[in-house]
Chain A
Amino acid sequence: MAETREISAARRRWMLLAPALAILVFAASGPLLIVIMYSFLTPGDYGGVIWSFSTDAWFNVVAERDFFDETLSFSDAHWSIFWRSVKLSLMTTAVAFLVGFPTAYFIATRPKATRDIWMLLIIIPFWTNLLIRTFAVMEIIRNEGVVNSVMIGLGIIDEPIQLLFTEFAITLGMFYVYLPLMVLPIYASMERLDFSLVEAAYDLYASRWRVLKRVIFPLVKPGVIAGSILVFVPSLGAYVTPRVLGGGKQLMLGNLIELQFGQGRNWPLGAALSITLLAIVMIALMVYVRSAGREEVSHG
């Protein structure tokens, strides 16, 4: 009797899990398997793949064969794009944290009634199309844009500064686009923070800075970790923002992948690069989460 009930409970659990599992298998693992498979095939002349096994794509991810004498060398172009992607994503995450943390703190310390209004202001840009937001940034920093016109008008500079189509432009754009993803999780943990702990720390001779460092920050750390991941991951694979604000000169991984599926007509290489991106994300997450966790242990 008890046994059959147990069995039926187990069956019910599987039935409840089934839709989610189905989505995972077909919508996530399926495409992933296809991408892995493509990365081991030969490119077709006009895009697509030819069904013959080849490791060339993987080879081309990191190295290139000289066209004439067939010598091998590191693919500088690819490496610099990898490096730029990681660097700009880290910078975006750092800047988003430096701006997002005080913002979340500010909102969480407002009276309850006004907090929702502040959150709304943070979220509203999110409702606007990504492309439009990116063009808005472009409008601000281009040579005839707001920043340069104002600075020239004030006589601070004579010539417009080249801001657009630089790494700065990409970082600024990604920061602007992904900032809410940093603010939201930090705010969520900040709102749950018991502010009597802050008072207790003040009472026990902790200055403002030390209260922040020893009490507030450790307690909202889960929010900071979540926010950092939410900003870093899409930054690393960003495609629209570097395309518009980098002007095709400052490529990032997303653009490189797109190139292989488009003009490059090298689907296997695109597939291999996609998996490389995934690997970089996984490694970065593992390193980050582990080091963040270890710090927690050493702090007690």
Chain B
Amino acid sequence: MIEIQNLTKTFGTGAEAFTALSEVSVTIRQNEFFTLLGPSGCGKTTLLRTIAGFVDPTSGTMTLDGADVLASPPYVRPVNTVFQNYALFPHMTVAENIGFGLEMQDRPKAEIKQTVGEMLELVQMTPLANRATSEISGGQQQRVALARALAPRPKVLLLDEPLSALDFKLRKEMQIELKRLQSETGITFVFVTHDQEEALTMSDRIAVMNEGQILQIGGPKEIYDHPAERFVADFIGETNFLEAELVSVDGEVAETRLPSGKTISTRAASGRAGAGKVTVAVRPEHALLEPPGALIDGKLENIVYFGTDTHYHVMLDGGARFVVRRQNQPDAVEAYTIGDAVGVSFNPGVGQVLRD
């Protein structure tokens, strides 16, 4: 439904020119909870503001439901935004804020009243309808901002880190609330966050961004289990990186030889073929701790107990560090002690060869 092709945005000119988005291409589907995830300054807000119409891209195209919208001003696009600072109108009540978009669309008074009532119900703000926006809490302001953006029934709702100002508990509640609203309204959500956990739990699909580029687009499991690049693997969760030699590639499967001399089949990197040195990423919880003689041997350096699981830090024979995470079982006796010679292994297909 939103098709973005080779979108580039350069701020400033000459020596001060700064490319905030470079050659971004992405398709966002109907009724999707789509998340833009990336570190601060990577261009998430810029991309969102381009979709809303506040940023004029330097080059590239964008269509909404097949129609070119780059030339349309924000007040024409059927796209609404939940701003990071909420941007509620301070001179209007909660209900007036929610009705503002409908009023600007010149909808009939009766319809506005009804929709505002429904929206207040939806975000559970009915008792506070006539409060000033300065007289409600941060979480309530957030809900009003959401209701205000949803009221005109946009085709796409853009949310720029809407939960970042909330405390942990409220944040968890609002995450569930947002998901519920998205499935109830059937509106496409484009959600910005730099919180990887938030992205993984809420999204249908995630685009991981860095330095103005989209590095990988995929479902949460796809992104987590099979990161395409070192940056993605590093940014989301914890990962072990192993230097290896690419032996052969057959479609999705790549045979790699580890420094220990043993070979293991891993998932091939998309768009990378041929022999040579590669990096294999393995999640700590996908690896196993075994007696020596496993895939790679090493020495147990540290054991860190986390309650739900335990992390084993292993110094591999080649000199690299490797972490194995094991879920704790009740009444389990710790079989290893620090300083033991141990082995590390993982199943075929678990490792992921990185593109870079």
Contact = CB atoms under 8 A, between A and B. Distances in A.
Contact of B100 (A204, A219, A296): A204
Interface stretch (B88-96, B134-142, B178-186, B287-295): B88-96
Contacts of B75: 202-207
Contacts of A218: 91
Contacts of B152: 204-205
Contact of A203 (B52, B88, B105): B52
Contacts of B91: 218-219, 296, 299-300
A204 B87 contact: no
A41 to B, nearest CB: 51
A300 to B, nearest CB: 5
B104 A210 contact: yes
B89 A196 contact: no
B148 to A, nearest CB: 7
Interface in A163-204: 194, 196-197, 199-204
A153 B52 CA distance: 53
Contact of B87 (A199, A205, A296, A300): A199
Contacts of B227: none
Contacts of A152: none
Interface in B95-129: 96, 100-101, 104-105
Contacts of B76: 205
Contact of B104 (A196, A204, A300): A204
A218 B96 CA distance: 14
A203 B73 contact: no
Contact of A300 (B53, B73, B92, B148): B92
A257 to B, nearest CB: 41
Given A196-B83, A218-B91, A219-B90, A201 B54 contact: no
B83 A206 contact: no
Interface in A2-40: none
Contacts of B104: 201, 204-207, 210, 214
Interface in A248-300: 296, 299-300
A215 interface: yes
A251 B154 CA distance: 61
Given A204-B148, A215-B89, A300-B92, A199 B101 contact: no
A81 to B, nearest CB: 40
Size class of the A contact interface (CB-based, 8 Å): 20 to 34
B80 interface: yes
A203 B80 CA distance: 6
A200 B87 contact: yes
Contact of A199 (B54, B92, B100): B54
Given A207-B75, A218-B91, A199 B83 contact: yes
Contacts, number: 66
Contacts of A199: 54, 74, 81, 83, 87
B216 interface: no
B96 A205 contact: no
Given A205-B152, A207-B75, A200 B105 contact: no
A200 B81 contact: yes
A202 B73 contact: yes
B263 interface: no
A300 B89 CA distance: 11
B89 A202 contact: no
Contacts of A196: 83, 85, 87
B80 A204 contact: yes
Nearest to A218: B91
B115 to A, nearest CB: 13
A107 to B, nearest CB: 22
B56 to A, nearest CB: 14
B78 to A, nearest CB: 9
A218 B100 CA distance: 14
Nearest to B85: A196
B145 to A, nearest CB: 9
Contact of A202 (B74, B88, B90, B105): B74
B74 A203 contact: yes
A201 B90 CA distance: 12
A217 to B, nearest CB: 10
Given A204-B80, A204-B148, A197 B73 contact: no
A271 B238 CA distance: 86
Interface of B: 52-54, 73-76, 79-81, 83, 85, 87-93, 96, 100-101, 104-105, 148-149, 152
12 contacts: A197-B89, A199-B74, A199-B83, A202-B54, A203-B52, A203-B149, A204-B80, A204-B100, A206-B75, A214-B100, A215-B89, A300-B96
Given A203-B53, A203-B79, A214-B104, 8 more contacts: A197-B90, A199-B54, A200-B81, A200-B87, A203-B149, A204-B100, A204-B104, A300-B96
